Chains A and B, each alone.
Chain A
């Protein structure tokens, strides 16, 4: 078998299939630059005649995407900070200190991975109502941080358990306490794990739908981009190009972050599967 030919055919297959694969994104971006009239007549032709930026202006101003965007940013940042901080603290204690009860906690943490938490949305909603936090940004952030971040905890624990003891001892001799050693010496060395956790949690929260949908049912002002899109489509049924512009605004940050960090991201995932 001619291996050069096989390789060439493989590339042809991968390129054609890859184009089909990302066509929905190309379609979305190109539609966002068309007029509604040319959108309906141009069919599958992805190239717009001229760039109509006003679709973006309409989505941003008229359809409230500016405030949806801000809500998404605040909720995502809040959740990322809480989740990454909590899981790195827990991971350090588990990976570094052999305290009584450590094994029990590790076993429970591992078992949690298999407890389905997807159906807890009703009690979460009632809890937020009880705490007076429904229809507040803080309530959404808290609910978003609720999942068991077993994956991150285990990643941090594994990383911290490999940090040489000498580093910690040297810091202690220099008069650094437990807390100081952790924040000044140990944590900075964990940058790759922190980056992985930040990116993964960012993408999860940015794309989250059910929790923000339910917790902002009575306060449309607090909608995130994903939830706002749904109401946009319901309200402006015929404004396809405005819809495409809104979708582009919603997906752009997450796609950019992914493309910039894709090495970290894909490796982080495959590392955790092992």
Chain B
């Protein structure tokens, strides 16, 4: 009997085991990016910029040239790379603490300049790596280690809607918010990631996908409940959709 490989590890992932907690969707998002890079055939021309956060080790997982930026500064680092080598493809992978708190200025300006880079923005509504503190994206009423009574707008401000802010920047060529808690959504996220890369490959401008993701560990629930929690609590606050698409339908 002859065997046929129908699913294999993407070439754009190394053999390294992920360091993410069981049930964390960071891993799914990594795999999607790697599949997209494989399909686009750009692995040997790609540079990954990992952030500060649980995905600080992304530089070990992607089988591309890679660096780790200082907390929040990935869009600036990517800008420097792309300006130095416009022939290469540069992507940043950033959490919500990284991109939406300390790095707000860098992402807004990279988007506004139409920097030809791709950003994968992982929104899990919390700081994962440092142990579950409030993020700008934390929901109202949500308990974290620094909002033990639940996030209150009058003290802590409101959940930050990054995609909605970025969409006003004229340099943006592709922008979407997706989620990864069902197989269909995983496929939709992959499509969005591909378009965000195509925006760069075609030289159209800045591309970003905000992916709603889970942090079962710091949310204090099991992985399956976390998928449900994402659906029930995060989606109403962060509406899914394609906000900007200058890439069009052809692939």
Bound together: no
- Interface of A toward B, CB cutoff 8 Å: none
